[in-house]
Amino acid sequence: MITLQHILGLDDSHLVACQQGHHLQAPVAQAFSKMQKAAATEGIDCQIASSYRSFQQQQSIWQKKWLGEKILRDINEQIIPFETLCDEQKLKAILTWSALPGASRHHWGTDLDVYDQQTLTSRGQSLQLIQQEYTDKSGPCYELNLWLDVHAQDFGFSRPYCAYTGGVAAEPWHLSYDCIAQDMRQSFSLDGLKSAIIEAKLLGIECILPNLEGIYQQYILNKGQA
């Protein structure tokens, strides 16, 4: 089984369980809990949609998208007809919204996706993790988005994909605990990533490996911060 020791020198021992069965590094979980309580005093129900993901979890997402079993969207969040894509186009479409297994910031235990659960529930809606939920004034996570703009940094969090700069699409839901995430990023091994992709026999490997250096620069190093 592929572990993150290939790429980051880490195993699951760097994680603790937190709310709703999610896992984060202990200082991140503590900082999030403080932020969540502060948001609650202003009527914002900040909950975790996604936190730590193993290599295998990210691989499952990747494989389903590569096979057309999950929807692919363009940068404007419009659904792309899967059958119209060549492998290079498919690779770009997936990377716009989903990281390569081994290259996701969610592996680090420092990054998480958040949403306003109470507002969604009161409206009878389910979370899609699309921008309009956060950026449209009528969106269920709009008030949360505004609150994070002002307060996330007070608790040590940034939003690495707050703007689209040619790599990953803007993800207003994605938070990163900066002081530890920087260490994780410095520990990242491109050679380890390549080895893990080969060992896992990742779907699309024939397209991925010749483009891996470019993927590393465009979608891993390139944080979408304005």
Q: In the prediction, which pLDDT does 19 show?
A: 79
Beta bridge partners of 79: 73
Residues 87 and 207: beta-carbon distance below 8 Å: yes
Where b means 16+ CB within 10 Å and e means fewer, 48-75 reads bbbbbbbbeebbebbbebbeeebebeee
Give the strand pairing for 23-24 and 16-17.
antiparallel
Eight-class DSSP state of 218: I
pTM above 0.85, yes or no: yes
Q: Position 29: which residue type?
A: A
Beta bridge partners of 113: 50, 174
Q: In the prediction, which pLDDT does 10 show?
A: 64
Residues 187 and 127: beta-carbon distance below 8 Å: no
pLDDT digits (tens, 9 = 90+) for 82-126: 999 999 999 999 999 999 999 899 999 999 999 999 999 999 999
The answer, yes or no, to whether residue 6 has pLDDT greater than 70, is: no
The answer, yes or no, to whether residue 4 has pLDDT greater than 80, is: no
Q: What is the mean pLDDT of residues 155-178?
A: 94
Average pLDDT of the chain?
92
Six-digit token string for 138: 């009528």
Q: How far apart, in whole angstroms, are the C-alpha atoms of residue 90 and residue 190?
A: 22
Residue 171 phi/psi, 5-degree rounding, is -130, 90
For helices 26-40 and 142-151, give the axis angle rounded to 10 degrees.
120
Q: In the prediction, which pLDDT does 126 show?
A: 95
